[in-house]
Structure 1
Amino acid sequence: MRRRSLRSRLTLLIAAAVALAVAVSAAACWLLARAEMRDQIARSLTRLRPAADQVAIALRDCRGDETQRRGPRPDWDPSGRSWQIVAPDGTVCVWAGSAQVRPSAAERALTTGSILRDAVTTDGTSVLVHTTRYVPAPGPPGRFPEPAPSAPVTISVFRSTAEMDQTLGILAVVFGSVSVLGVAGAAVAGLWLARTALRPVARLTRAVEHVARTEDLTVTIPVEGEDEIARLGRSFNTMTAALSSSQERQRRLVADAGHELRTPLTSLRTNIDLLLRSEATGRAIEPAAKRRLLANVKEQFEEMSSLVGDLLELSREAESGESSAEIDFHEVVAAAVERARRRGPGLRFDVGLDPWQVHGDARGLHRAAVNVLDNAVKFSPPGGLVTVRLGNGVLTVRDEGPGIPQDELPHVFERFWRSPSARGLPGSGLGLAIVAQAVRDAGGRVSVENAPGGGTLATLELPGTPPSA
């Protein structure tokens, strides 16, 4: 069963369920018909009361007084019912030559009430027998009247069930045929329902197989309705869109990283080639030029180290569970401010920090605060003021720099994007991208805008609570 396809299993389940329902219904109808026909025969037996002269003739025949009969027996029941008298010793008195039923012990000992049972006559006919004890009511005298019996007698009235059995046999054939046709129709309907119901699943399966075979994440499947299959289709489309976006970001990251690394690598190779050529030819470079050359090599190495560090920070996956903890964000910002003071010794800092506790990655949030303050230091004029405020989970950093052109503001969080006016300054263009990622990982929001009166205003909103006292 497990090796079958989902469609065949669904078809078999539908056919089996319908077959069971049809079989139960047919059996119930057959049993109800049997009970009704049996009840009709039983009612016809209970309504029969032989006349007194008929009982007297049966008793006379049982005593061997056949010669005393003064005429033919009266026809007592043309409907096919028969009857017999049961004596306590088991003797049965019937019409001469009539079939009889062997009485049971309960019928021989019957004194009150009645007994209804199935039996077989002496000639092998299946009958239904109703036995009761009563005195036949005297009837009008016949052509050859017999004296009525003076004591109560036990009489068993029986009727053949052959017609009932024949009718039940026909009904069994009819119900069986209907059941077979019903099961066949259910199988066909089940196959059609399975194909109809699983058509969206088949489309989804083909799409998944196509993605697995070609790694083409642009594939989408049409979705109709609001049922579970439609929800599954929407989830698949959302998943492929997210994977495609992630793949595109990965390609862009690799391409941008290669582009950014190409410049310092080229400069390093040129400077090192110059040093090697000087050593190979014996033409020494002037000491001052050599110092400048080595300083440039060192600067390129530092730039590459910073770039590689930024790439590692940006490309690492968000850690969950163990790396997230409750951190005092105001202490993180205070440490970043002290670092910024050392990097901008000629700048003035106006700092106001209210205690605030955040649940997140301490390293990522520290890097975000450092990058925001480094930008403020980098673009502030000599002697400029950097204002830092933290209140109710909102960190604002404002500088007195030249600001950002309005058309460049939408790009400030893009990876490797650098303003044309800032390309002469050190940096990789990843600082604000790292800030945005760290803040998003902590469930917050970040924005950068031009401050009123000049300068740039960076805002970080982080959910959290004031630390408990």
Structure 2
Amino acid sequence: MTLQFRLTIALVAVITTVVTVAGIFAVTSAERELVDGVDDFLIDRAKSIEDLQSNAEAKSFAQRDERRSVLSEFLAEPDAITQIVDPKGQIIFAFPISLPLEDAEIKIATQKDENLSEVTRIRKSTVGGVDYRILSKPLPRGGLLQIGRDLSEVNDAISGMIRAFLLLGLIGIAIAILSAWVLASQLAKPIKRLSKTAEHVARTQELTAFIDSKDGDKEVRRLAESFNVMLRALATSRDQQKRLVTDASHELRTPLTSVRTNIELLAKAKSIDEKDKELIIRDLKTEINELSLLVDEIVNLATSTGFKSENFVTDDLSVIAQEVAEKFSRRSGRTINITSSGDSIRDIQSAAIERAISNLVDNAIKFSPEGTDIVITVKNGTVCVRDFGIGVREDDGDQLLRDSLDPLIQGIFLAQVSGFQ
């Protein structure tokens, strides 16, 4: 079931409930008003008859309407049933038909207690398949006066109202369904657009399919903004993964190349003296340790949300730079000069600094002409590696700085940090 369909059902249910309650209230109120009107008529008619009973000259009243019939001192008219019950509980007059007596009404008619002279009872009864509203009132001299009024007009009016309300209700509900469907479509449109975008991203892996967060209500805009933030985070994560793989492969290539070169040299061990062999073996151990550290750091980056940085220790930058210079000089055969001045003892991450200097020297070897010198300068806690190659284009400087400041790779790629100096 779609969101639009559920919203339509909910809106139609609410509107139907409101229409039904309003219709029931209107019909009930109208019926009560009509019945109250009939009751007022019965009370007035009973009072008129009582007045005629106490007035010996009933002729003046009788002349007001040619349709009335007079029996003794009591008035009977065709618009209502008039019935007289004597003090013995016997019907002595009924026009145009007699009304059924209930036990309570017989007791009122036969009661001689003056306290019952003011008791008036109104009830509903069915006579010959017709509903009547019947008023029963004790007479001052004993007996009971009953006035009945046909409720057919009231019932017809109520039935007509019910039919009208049903028709109007059905028309209103039909209009409500159409309106609710259109309204639900408008309300669900941003959600549908978000759903289609999510499906598109899942199908194509395109992380630039952003949603316009200016459309819709506040909640929809917030949802769209959150979705866009999620897409940006995913795009950033994917970009970081790509750069991590690229940079990690670059970092691993150097020690692997060194290990391969040293192994090839050892394969020719017959022509290598013991001193050189020891240096090669030491280099192999160093490169293997470096490779192991790099692999550990890559695993940490890939399996944890944060990078565990190396502990800081007090070390001499000039000593680390000298070891790097000797290692790469033996490996490449290039001349690497080192100069040191000032205080070079600092609290540093020795392994990371050693890799940083190694990367700088390795890049200097790769991107400078054969026969040119490479100079490492250690001065007052800073290290500068200088070569005479093609250098770095200005356009690449910002990217190098962004890579170096990325928290995911700051422990591995310190060689690119321009602030290292």
TM-score, structure 1 length as denominator?
A: 0.63
With over 3 angstroms needed to count, the CA separation of the structure-2 counterparts of 1:343 and 1:414, relative to structure 1, is farther
Instruction: Give 5+ residue unaligned stretches, structure 1.
Output: 58-70, 136-150, 324-331, 352-365, 386-398, 418-428, 436-446, 451-455, 457-469
What secondary structure, in the 3-state scheme, does the structure 1 residue paired with 2:185 have? helix
The AA in structure 1 aligned to 2:174 is A
- What residue number does 2:37 align with? 40
**Cα distance, 1:290 vs structure 2:** 3.4
Contact 1:218–1:240 (CA<8 Å) still a contact in 2? Answer: yes
- Cα contact 1:340–1:373 (8 A) shared by 2: no
- String of CA shifts for 1:200-224, please: whole Å, max 9, x gaps: 1101111111222222222211222
Rounded Cα–Cα distance in structure 2 between residues aligned with 1:414 and 1:24: 67
Residue 127 in 1 paired to residue 171 in 2? no
1:98 aligns with 2:96: yes
**Post-superposition shift, 1:257?**
1.1
Report the counterpart of residue 460 of structure 1 in structure 2: none
* Deviation at residue 196 of structure 1 after TM alignment: 0.6
Give yes or no for contact 1:130–1:158 (8 Å, CA) kept in 2.
Answer: yes
**1:6: which partner in 2?**
3
Alignment of 1:84-233 (within 5 A): 84-95=83-94, 98-110=96-108, 111=116, 112-121=118-127, 123-135=128-140, 151-223=141-213, 224-225=215-216, 227-233=218-224
SS at match of 2:49: coil
Aligned to 1:297: 284
Q: What do residues 50-79 of structure 1 show as CA deviations (whole Å, max 9, x unaligned)?
A: 26777999xxxxxxxxxxxxx985994556
Q: Within 2, Cα distance between the matches of 1:434 and 1:271?
A: 26
Distance of aligned partners of 1:47 and 1:266 in 2 relative to their CA distance in 1, 3 Å threshold: same
Conserved in 2, the CA contact under 8 Å of 1:412 and 1:432? no
1:268 aligns with 2:259: yes
Q: How does 1:395-406 map to 2 (within 5 A)?
A: 399=381
User: C-alpha distance in 2, partners of 1:20/1:52?
Assistant: 51
Partner of 2:332: none
CA distance in 2, matches of 1:370, 1:303: 8
Query: How far did 1:44 drift?
Result: 0.6
Q: Assess if the C-alpha contact under 8 Å between 1:85 and 1:93 holds in 2.
A: yes
1:158 deviates by: 1.1
Separation of aligned partners in 1, 2:50 and 2:176:
58
> Distance in 2 between the 1:303 and 1:50 partners?
122
| Cα distance in structure 2, aligned partners of 1:368 and 1:133 | 115
Contact 2:42 2:135 survives alignment (8 Å): yes
> How far has the Cα of 1:259 moved from its partner?
2.2
Q: Which residue of 1 aligns with 2:372?
A: none
Give, as a single letter, the amino acid of the residue that structure 1 aligns with 2:93.
Answer: V
Tell me the matched-pair count: 352
- What secondary structure sits across from 2:212 in the alignment? coil
Q: Output the CA distance in 2 between the equivalents of 1:233 and 1:132.
A: 76
Find the aligned partners of 1:21 and 1:264 in 2 and give their Cα distance: 79
Give the superposition deviation at 1:83. Answer: 1.3
C-alpha distance in 2 between matches for 1:238 and 1:23: 46
**In 2, Cα distance between the equivalents of 1:341 and 1:271?**
26
Q: Deviations over 1:28-49 (max 9, x none)?
A: 0000010000000000110112
Residue pairs, 1:55-454, within 5 angstroms: 76=75, 78=77, 80-95=79-94, 98-110=96-108, 111=116, 112-121=118-127, 123-135=128-140, 151-223=141-213, 224-225=215-216, 227-276=218-267, 278=268, 284-318=271-305, 336-338=312-314, 348=343, 399=381, 414-415=402-403, 430-431=410-411
Moved more, 233-242 or 341-350: 341-350
Report deviation, 1:173. Answer: 0.6
Residues 362-411 of structure 1: CA distance to partner in whole angstroms, max 9, x if unpaired? xxxx99798589989x99967x65xxxxxxxxxxxxx3556999x89966
- Cα shift at 1:292: 4.1
- 2:125 counterpart SS class: strand
Q: Contact conserved, 1:413 with 1:432, CA < 8 A, in 2?
A: no
RMSD: 4.3
TM-score (norm 2): 0.69
Inter-CA distance 298–371: structure 2 relative to 1 (3 Å threshold): closer
CA–CA distance in structure 1, aligned partners of residues 133 and 29 of structure 2: 18
Kept in 2, the 8 Å contact 1:409–1:449? The answer is no
1:203 and 1:315 mapped to 2: Cα distance? 34
Give 3-state SS (helix, strand or coil) of 1:119's partner.
strand
Q: CA separation in 2, counterparts of 1:373 and 1:261?
A: 15
- Deviation (angstroms), 1:13: 1.3
Distance 1:226 1:343, change over 3 A: farther
Give the letter aligned to residue 120 of structure 2.
Answer: S
The percent identity for this pair of structures is: 24
**Offset of 1:179 from its aligned partner?**
1.4
Distance in 2 of aligned mates of 1:19 and 1:248: 54
Summarize the Cα distance change of 1:236–1:14 in structure 2 as closer, same or farther, 3 Å threshold: same
